[in-house]
Amino acid sequence: MVPTYVRPPPMFHKGEGCYLWDVENRKYLDFTAGIAVNALGHCDPEMTKIMYQQGATLVHTSNLYHNPWTGALSKLLVEKTLEAGAMHTASKAFICNSGSEANEAAIKFARKVGKMVDESGAKHELVSFHNSFHGRTMGSLSATPNPKYQKPFAPMLPGFKYGTYNDISAIEDLVGPNTCGVIIEPIQGEGGVNVASDEFLLALRKRCDEVGAVLIYDEIQCGLSRTGTLWAHSSLPKEAHPDILTTAKALGNGFPIGATLVNEHVATKIVTGDHGTTFGGNPLGCRLAHSIVSRLSDQRLQQGVLQKETVFRKHFERLRKRFPKTITEVRGRGLILGLQLSGDPNPVVTAARERGLLVITCGTNTLRFVPPLVISEEEIEEGMRILEEAMSVVFKEQTPVEPTKGQEEMQDS
Ligand SMILES: Cc1ncc(COP(=O)(O)O)c(C=O)c1O
C-alpha cells in the first residue's frame, strides 16, 4: 500500500448499525460514519438486499447504453431537491463515483459555461475559499487552498483564486468579469465545521449573477439530510440557490458514487463528449443510491437529526462547563458538529478509541462529530460518556474561573 495514510492499530472487519468490530472482536461505537458516509449505519439490511438482487441482475454496462437506474436516480435527485425547497432550478444530473469527481465535473462545467458566454477564453477563473476541501484530483485540489495538500503537487491548475469564508466585503474584488465559477461548501467539513452565513451566500449569488459566473455548492459532506434538511442550503431563499450542486459520501452509504446536479443554464452548454466516465452511473450504484436518497429524504429521519443534535449539544455544554479552558466553541448544524479545543485533540481521539469510541478531527484542533444519522439517543449518551472519560484522563479537571493575567497561555494537558 502506498503510504498515503497513517492508521491506528485496530483493524475493522465487521460493522452493524453504529458499531464496528475489530479483528480481536472489540466493539467500537462509530461517531465518524466513515467520514460522514454511512448515514444509514453499517451494513444496512435494505442495502445488502439491493446489492444482492442488483448484483445478480446487472452490475455494469458502461455509459454507451441505457440502463433503468441512472435516469431514475437523476430524476429522483432533481425531484427531491425541488421538493425540499433547495436549488429551485435543478434539472439534470451527472452521476460519477466520488466527491472529487463530482467537483471535477462541476469545475469543468463552469469552465465550459465561461467559454460559451465569452469566446475569448478570458472567463475561466474559479474562486474557492480558505479552509475548504473539495478533493484530491488536480481540479478539485486546485480549489482546495491547503498548502499541505497542494504544495507537493504544484503547480496547480491556472486560474484559481481564493477568498476568505464569510468575508462579504471581499466578494466584489474576488469575483469579477473573468470568473466562470465560485465553489463553496455551505458548511466546511474538513476545514473545521465552519458554517457559511446566509448573508454571505446571498451576497455570493448576487455577485455571481452580476458577473455571469456559476455558483457551485459542494454538499458532499454536509448534504443528504446531515443538517436536518435534505441539503444544507434548503432553508435559504431562492436568491441564494446554486447553479450546480455536488454530492457523494452518504449517496452510496459506503458504495462509491457521486453526482453533479445542474440547472438548464449549465446543462444547455454541455454537449456529447464534453465529459464522461466508465463506471459512473452503473446500475448497481444507481439503484442503491435511489433507495438511499428516498430514505434520507424522509422528514421523520430529518426531524430525528435535529432532536439528536439537541442531545449532542446538551452534552457539549456540560463538557464545556467541566473543561472551560479546553473547549472554546461548539459549531455546526444537525449531525455535523465540531468542538473547538484550545490544544491538540489527538490524545482525546486515542483515549476515546481505546475505550471503544471512534471520533475524528478536522480544521485546527477541532473534534468532529459526523455519526450515522440513524444513531439512537442511547448510543449518543453512551458515546458521550466515553468521550467525557477520555477527556478527563487527557485534561485535568478544570474549575470554571475567569483567567487571571498570564493564565491564558497555560496548557490544559
Ligand atoms: C466537502 C467535500 N468535498 C469533496 C470531498 C472529496 O470527496 P472524495 O473523497 O469522495 O473524493 C470531500 C471529502 O472529504 C468533502 O468533504
Taking CA 246 as the corner, what is the angle to CA 94 and CA 101, rounded to the nearest 5 degrees? 65
> Pick from 332, 348, 329: which is nearest to 340 by CA?
329
Q: What's the gap in Å between 259 CA and the centre of ligand 1?
A: 12
- How many angstroms does the Cα of residue 60 sit away from the middle of ligand 1? 24
Look at the alpha carbons of 54, 58, 20, 342 in this order and tell me if their dihedral is positive or negative: negative
Task: Kindly give the distance from the C-alpha atom of residue 132 to the centroid of ligand 1, in angstroms, as a whole number.
Answer: 10
- Using DSSP, state whether 45 is helix, strand or coil: helix
Nearest atom, ligand 1, residue 219 CA: 1
Q: Hey, whose CA ends up nearest to atom 9 of ligand 1?
A: 99
Nearest to 36, CA basis, from 394, 265, 338, 340: 338
Q: Ligand 1: distance of its center to the CA of 103 in Å?
A: 9
For the CA of 132, the closest atom of ligand 1 is 1
Ligand 1 pocket test target in 190, 220, 222 with most atoms within 8 Å of CB: 220
Residue 18 and residue 397: Cα distance in Å, rounded? 30
One-letter amino acid at 79 equals: E
In eight-state DSSP terms, residue 404 is P
- Residue pair 77/293 in contact (Cβ under 8 Å)? The answer is yes
User: Ligand 1 site: residues with CB under 6 angstroms?
Assistant: 35, 98-100, 103, 133-135, 185, 189-190, 218, 220-221, 248
E strand spans, 36-79: none
Q: Identify the three-state secondary structure at position 286.
A: helix
CA-based nearest residue to 293, from 96, 93, 74: 74
Q: Longest C-alpha distance within the chain, in Å? A: 71
- State the distance from the centre of ligand 1 to the C-alpha of 248, rounded, in angstroms: 8
Contact 186, 151 (CB under 8 A): no
Distance of CA 220 from the midpoint of ligand 1 (Å): 6
The three grid cell numbers given for residue 52, joined into one nine-digit string:
444482492
Q: Quick check: 197 and 190 in contact, CB under 8 A?
A: no
Per-residue pLDDT of the chain (413 residues; tens, 9 = 90+): 999 999 999 999 999 999 999 999 999 999 999 999 999 999 999 999 999 999 999 999 999 999 999 999 999 999 999 999 999 999 999 999 999 999 999 999 999 999 999 999 999 999 999 999 999 999 999 999 999 999 999 999 999 999 999 999 999 999 999 999 999 999 999 999 999 999 999 999 999 999 999 999 999 999 999 999 999 999 999 999 999 999 999 999 999 999 999 999 999 999 999 999 999 999 999 999 999 999 999 999 999 999 999 999 999 999 999 999 999 999 999 999 999 999 999 999 999 999 999 999 999 999 999 999 999 999 999 999 999 999 999 997 666 555 444 433 333 32
Spatial distance between the Cα atoms of 51 and 73, rounded to a whole number of angstroms: 16
